A and B are shown apart, each in its own frame.
Chain A
Amino acid sequence: MFKKVLIAEDLGWNTQRIEQQLLETGAEEIVIAEYCDDAYVKYVRAIKDDAPFDLLVADLSFKQDHREQKLNSGDELIAAIRGLHRPLKIIVFSMEERLQRIRMLFDEQKIDAYVFKSRRSLEDMAEALTAVAQHKRYISPQVAAALGSQKNLDIEEYDILLLEEIAKGRSNREISERFKALTIKPHGISSIEKRLSKLRIDFKASNATQLIAVVKDLGLI
Chain B
Amino acid sequence: MKSNCFSSPFLMLVLLITMGVQAQKPVEKPIDSALYFYEIIVNPDDAQSFRKAEDYYTGMYEQSMARSDYKKAAMYLELIGFGKNQIGDYTASEFNLVKSLELIEPYTDTEAIDLKLRLYNLLGVLYKNLNNYPKSLEYYQKSLAFANSTKDSISFFLRVGNVLREEGEFERAIDTLKYALKLTQKNELEVLKSYILDNLGYTQLTNGDDSGIYNLNKSVDIRKKLGNTTALFSSYRHLTQYYIQIDDTLNALKYVQKALSLTPNIKDPTFELEALSLLAQLDDDPRIKRYNFLNDSIKEANLAKQNKYAALKYDVAREQRQTKLALDERDRQKRLKTIYVLALLLGVLVVMGFSIFLHLKRKQKQLEVIRKTEASISKKVHDGLANDTFQVISELQNLENIPDHILNKLDKIYLETRDISKNHSPLIDGTNFKDQLVSRLNSYKSENFSVIIRNLNGINWEKFSRNKKDAIYMVLGELMTNTRKHSQASVALVSFEQKGKKLAITFKDNGLGNEIKKGNGIQNMEFRIFSLNGTISFEPESGKGLKVQILV
Contact = CB atoms under 8 A, between A and B. Distances in A.
Interface of A: 11, 13-14, 16-17, 61-63, 95, 97-101, 103-104, 117-119, 121-122, 143, 145-146, 148, 150, 153-155, 201-204, 214, 217-220
Contact of B445 (A98, A101, A145): A145
B398 interface: yes
Given A98-B428, A100-B435, A119-B407, A153 B394 contact: no
A155 B453 contact: yes
A155 B452 contact: yes
Instruction: Please tell me the size bucket of the interface on B.
Output: 35 or more
B440 interface: yes
A203 B383 contact: no
Pick from B397, B422, B506 the residue with the most CB of A within 10 Å.
Answer: B397
Contact of A202 (B414, B441, B452, B545): B452
B428 A100 contact: yes
Given A98-B443, A145-B439, A220-B454, 19 more contacts: A13-B391, A17-B394, A95-B390, A97-B422, A97-B443, A98-B425, A100-B431, A100-B435, A100-B439, A103-B439, A150-B438, A153-B452, A155-B452, A214-B510, A217-B544, A218-B491, A218-B509, A218-B510, A219-B506
A14 B382 CA distance: 16
A99 B440 contact: yes
Contacts of A17: 394, 397-398
Interface string B435-459: 1101111110100111111101100
B405 to A, nearest CB: 13
12 contacts: A13-B395, A14-B390, A17-B394, A95-B390, A97-B422, A98-B440, A103-B435, A121-B394, A145-B439, A150-B435, A153-B438, A220-B454
A16 B407 CA distance: 19
B491 A203 contact: yes
B440 A100 contact: yes
Nearest 5 pairs of A and B residues by beta carbon: A99-B439, A204-B490, A100-B439, A61-B383, A218-B493
Nearest to B544: A217
B142 interface: no
A143 B456 CA distance: 22
B411 interface: yes
A122 B395 CA distance: 12
Contacts of B457: 154
A11 to B, nearest CB: 6
B281 interface: no
B439 A119 contact: no
Contacts of B449: 204
A204 B491 contact: yes
B159 interface: no
B508 A219 contact: yes
B218 interface: no
Given A99-B443, A153-B438, A154-B457, A122 B506 contact: no
A74 B448 CA distance: 33
Interface in B355-379: 379
B418 interface: yes
A61 B442 contact: no
A90 B386 CA distance: 23
A62 B490 contact: no
A23 to B, nearest CB: 15
Interface string B3-29: 000000000000000000000000000
B151 interface: no
B428 A119 contact: no
Contacts of B451: 153
B309 to A, nearest CB: 99
Contacts of A121: 394
Given A14-B394, A204-B490, A154 B456 contact: yes
Given A98-B428, A100-B436, A143 B397 contact: no
B545 A217 contact: yes
B443 to A, nearest CB: 5
B547 interface: yes
Contacts of A202: 450, 452, 491
Contacts of A201: 450
A196 B418 CA distance: 36
Contacts of B393: 119
Nearest to B379: A61
Contacts of B428: 98, 100-101
B391 A14 contact: yes
A131 B195 CA distance: 122
Contacts of B398: 16-17
Contacts of A14: 390-391, 394-395
B88 interface: no
